[in-house]
């Protein structure tokens, strides 16, 4: 083939090649595919187009039809707390012996709650006397020098009132809820039982059996048992590690002298607060208390000084009780938390709200604000879960308690530790705002009634020495932001020891080192 012939063939081939379209024009293909815009600078790949379609669908889901957003919004927003500035004033009077009287008057209320909050609980016992504070709570209603048990019960019932008490690790409370006109009588009864209880030996013997039966009932409550074991392992060899009820052996050996010694040592005026809320008048309560509470010791030793002598130390450890007869496995994972007066205690409360709580019987959860609740509800790996944050005078416990089937223990453990550890790395503003709103709402809902208000007053005076106004508390909560959450998580969670308590069919519960390694994430 000559060179001239070859050149002519090349020219003819070029004449049959279709012209190249201009930049940005559409190209029609033979299989009727819709035309695609092509940019000369950056050609668009098919995966890019699919991603844009998905983003558009998500945007339509996020930006809902405004007709549905007239009364509610899926996006949380900060709230205005102007209304809480008009809350009733808490008035406090301190007597010469150190006894404090605090009241919040709501004169329109036909009922009132008056009680005595004492800075003493099971923490201030010894190994030999553990259980005395709770035993005393039972015996305080068993008659005084002037009233028999029958007379005491009849007086309360004739008023239509409600007399109750409870003991915790750091506080003991006796309170009465009555009509406003019966407040003086209720206050007189409280002063009588706290100062003049008789502690009859026959009554003490009879009450031993009552408390032993109560121990059996508490032993059947899984949550109570798990948290007792969690305290025992987290605060081992310290007073906080003991149970409130004490051991069965101690209950059988507690005597009248133990009870009297506990009252004389810990039921002192500086460690007591008389709190009243509802239809009460502060001046009248103060005058009555001056006349009634005259036998209290003025010993100036405070609970904080006693705690300093025997502080609680957190120990990374675990306790496992394998029982295949139980239908469900339950376990709690806890970290050393903050004390009541620690500046970061508020942030831990917000973190507790972020983790949330859920129960399978209540339904829902797949669209909850908490990502941990979402994972558990969607995967169906738990029967219930609950984040907890417990504060004490010098330490605390923060973590998650959960209950699940035996074959879901490992998956549930992974979900819990992943979400807890994530608080140190990735926290969104939306999640924090939602958690703050939930926390503030739960705090206000809890104070619905005279008894919760009186309890809040008494507890805060024992802890802080004053009643924190709601406006101040809400300002502290609103000051928590994503940076605060990550800082506090790095302090209490990141690469920190954990305490684990498990019970039931927990053979698949990962070992301690597995939990310890997942207190942080390896990112490269």
> Pick the catalytic residue: 207, 419, 455, 470?
207
Q: Which two tokens stand for residue 95?
A: 């007597």
Vertex 275 angle, CA 398 and 210, to 5°:
70
Task: For residue 457, count other CB atoms closer than 10 A to its CB.
Answer: 26
157 catalytically annotated: no
**Contact yes or no for 504/404 (Cβ under 8 A):** no
Beta-sheet pairing, 90-94 with 172-179: unpaired
Upper half-sphere CA count for residue 266 (Cβ side, 13 Å): 26
The CA-CA-CA angle for residues 82, 453, 476, to 5°, reads 45
Residues 6+ apart with CB under 8 A from 312: 235, 238, 239, 240, 241, 392, 394, 395
CA distance 481 to 436: 9
Token reading at 148: 């028999």
Q: How far apart are CA 94 and CA 78, in angstroms?
A: 38
Please identify which of the residues 137, 318, 419, 455 carries the catalytic annotation. 137
Q: Write the CA distances from 444 to 73, 240, 355, 437, integer angstroms.
A: 22, 29, 20, 11
DSSP 310: S
Residue 137 catalytic? yes
- Known catalytic residues are 137, 207
């Amino acid at each position: 083939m000559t060179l001239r012939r070859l050149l002519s063939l090349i020219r003819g081939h070029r004449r049959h090649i279709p012209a190249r379209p201009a930049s940005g024009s559409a190209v029609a293909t033979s299989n009727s595919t819709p035309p695609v815009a092509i940019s000369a600078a950056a050609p668009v790949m098919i995966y890019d187009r699919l991603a844009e379609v998905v983003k558009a669908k998500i945007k339509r889901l996020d930006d809902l039809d405004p007709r549905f957003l007239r009364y509610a919004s899926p996006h949380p927003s900060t709230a205005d707390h102007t209304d809480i500035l008009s809350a009733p004033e808490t008035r406090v009077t301190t007597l010469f012996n150190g006894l404090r009287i605090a009241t919040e008057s709501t004169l329109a209320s036909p009922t009132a709650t008056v009680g005595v909050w004492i800075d003493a609980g099971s923490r201030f016992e010894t190994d030999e006397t553990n259980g005395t504070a709770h035993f005393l709570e039972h015996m305080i209603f068993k008659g005084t020098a002037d009233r028999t048990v029958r007379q005491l019960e009849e007086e309360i019932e004739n008023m239509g009132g409600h007399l109750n008490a409870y003991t915790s690790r750091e506080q003991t409370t006796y309170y009465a809820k009555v009509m406003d006109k019966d407040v003086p009588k209720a206050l007189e009864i409280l002063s009588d039982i706290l100062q003049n209880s008789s502690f009859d030996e026959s009554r003490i013997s009879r009450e031993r059996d009552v408390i032993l039966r109560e121990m059996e009932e508490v032993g059947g409550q899984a949550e109570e048992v798990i948290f007792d074991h969690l305290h025992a392992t987290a605060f081992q060899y310290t007073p906080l590690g003991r149970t409130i009820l004490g051991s069965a052996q101690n209950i059988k050996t507690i005597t009248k002298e133990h009870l009297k010694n506990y009252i004389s040592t810990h039921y002192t005026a500086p460690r007591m607060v008389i709190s009243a809320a509802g239809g009460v008048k502060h001046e009248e309560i103060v005058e009555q208390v001056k006349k009634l509470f005259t036998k209290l010791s003025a010993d100036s030793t405070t609970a904080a000084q006693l705690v300093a002598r025997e502080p609680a130390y957190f120990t990374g450890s675990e306790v496992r009780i394998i029982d295949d007869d139980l239908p469900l496995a339950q376990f709690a994972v806890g970290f050393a938390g903050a004390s009541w007066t620690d500046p970061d205690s508020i942030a831990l409360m917000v973190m507790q709200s972020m983790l949330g709580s859920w129960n399978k019987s209540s339904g829902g959860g797949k669209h909850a604000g908490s990502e941990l609740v979402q994972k558990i509800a969607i995967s169906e790996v738990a029967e219930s879960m609950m984040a907890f944050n417990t504060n004490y005078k010098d330490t605390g416990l923060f973590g998650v308690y959960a209950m699940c089937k035996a074959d879901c223990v490992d998956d549930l453990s992974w979900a819990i530790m992943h979400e807890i550890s994530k608080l140190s790395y990735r926290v969104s503003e939306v999640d924090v705002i939602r958690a703050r709103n939930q926390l503030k709402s739960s705090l206000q809902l809890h104070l619905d009634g005279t008894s919760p208000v009186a309890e809040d007053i008494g507890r805060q005076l024992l802890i802080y020495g004053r009643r924190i106004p709601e406006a101040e508390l809400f300002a502290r909560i609103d000051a928590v932001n994503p940076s605060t959450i990550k800082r506090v998580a790095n302090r209490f969670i990141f690469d920190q020891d954990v305490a684990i308590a498990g019970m039931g069919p927990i053979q698949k519960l990962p070992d301690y080192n597995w939990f310890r390694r997942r207190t942080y994430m390896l990112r490269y």
